[in-house]
Amino acid sequence: MPSQLTRLLRGNRDLSTFLACAAASFVLLALPPGAKEGVGRALSGVALGPFKRVAAAAIETAGVRRENLALRRIAAELMNERNALIEHRQENERLRELLRVLITFPEEERFELLPARVTAMPGGRVIERIEIDKGTEQGVRTGMAVVTPEGLVGKVVTVYPTRSLVEPLSNASAAASVVTERSRVRGVLRPRYRVASALTTWAVDYVPARSDIVPGDRVATSGLGGVLPAGLSVGTVTSVEDGPLTMAVDVDLFVDFSKLEHVFVITGTRSGPRARTEEEERLLREIGELTVEEGH
């Protein structure tokens, strides 16, 4: 029997190649988590990382060029002499908004925020991971929450020296303990894939029947579990259906994962309000002046 198998494999090199690849795959799958992480880091960091950064930068540059061209056309139609000003405003609007959020973020009394740029969204049909351009060298650690001004994005699951991978709420295994801001009803937020719907939706599980929840209620993280801090905005309740034991609660998230460009990593918390630095006060004044100028 072994000799027949050997002859078969020798006679069919395609099959032998496939079986070798399959065997190697199973060996990799069976590796302990630490070893997998090591192999992943080596492949990602050495073989793939630099090229992905270049490609991401090129794609972003192409997007900025397209946007620039469109803005020039609009400005020429409206007012030729203000062309340069309008173009300048569009180019800087996003950066100034980021700066404003960084300094005057609503949670500034509690959270230390590290701004980061989204460089890739690896995964399959849904966004399973979000890669950002900040890592251990900038103070990012596994488990840190990632947010935008709109609300919670997810948490950091893998950290490299200069970049990190974030598990967004759209990931099938993602779950977050949440609470309604008005009535303080708790539950666990999870994604739902609906066949008929064009988008992933989210539901709050384990909500006891006849709880005080109505459409329009805002949902935030509860802080239970100790991974995500309490009070991060998550979304709004869109529909509620009472059942015999639990309620079916659907939630519309504040964050649109497909349009993420910049995020903030919550690197720590403070016990009290933080005084703005002189530099931040100057930048805030500058932003205010620019906004007033544009208003005129």
CB of 273 to other proteins, least distance (A): 38
CB of 64 to other proteins, least distance (A): 13
Nearer to other proteins, 41 or 100 (CB): 41
Nearer to other proteins, 80 or 197 (CB): 197
Q: Are 170 and 191 in contact (CB under 8 A)?
A: yes
Which residues contribute to the site for other proteins (CB under 8 A)?
A: 13-15, 17-18, 21-22, 24-29, 31, 33, 36-37, 39-44, 47-48, 51-52, 55-56, 59, 63, 119-129, 131, 158, 165, 172, 193-195, 197-200, 258
Buried b (16+ CB within 10 A) or exposed e, 99-123: bbbbbeeeebebbebbbbbbbbbee
Q: Are 208 and 246 in contact (CB under 8 A)?
A: yes
Nearer to other proteins, 38 or 288 (CB): 38
CB of 54 to other proteins, least distance (A): 8
Using CA of residue 248, residue 252, residue 255, residue 257, what is the dihedral sign?
A: positive
Nearer to other proteins, 38 or 106 (CB): 38
Radius of gyration of the chain (CA): 24
Q: Are 152 and 169 in contact (CB under 8 A)?
A: yes
Nearer to other proteins, 44 or 236 (CB): 44
Nearer to other proteins, 110 or 129 (CB): 129
CB of 140 to other proteins, least distance (A): 16
Please measure the distance between the N-terminal and C-terminal CA atoms of the chain and give it in whole angstroms: 88
CB of 80 to other proteins, least distance (A): 33
Distance from the Cα of residue 208 to its chain's centroid = 30
Side-chain-facing half-sphere of 250: CA atoms under 13 Å: 10
CB of 39 to other proteins, least distance (A): 6
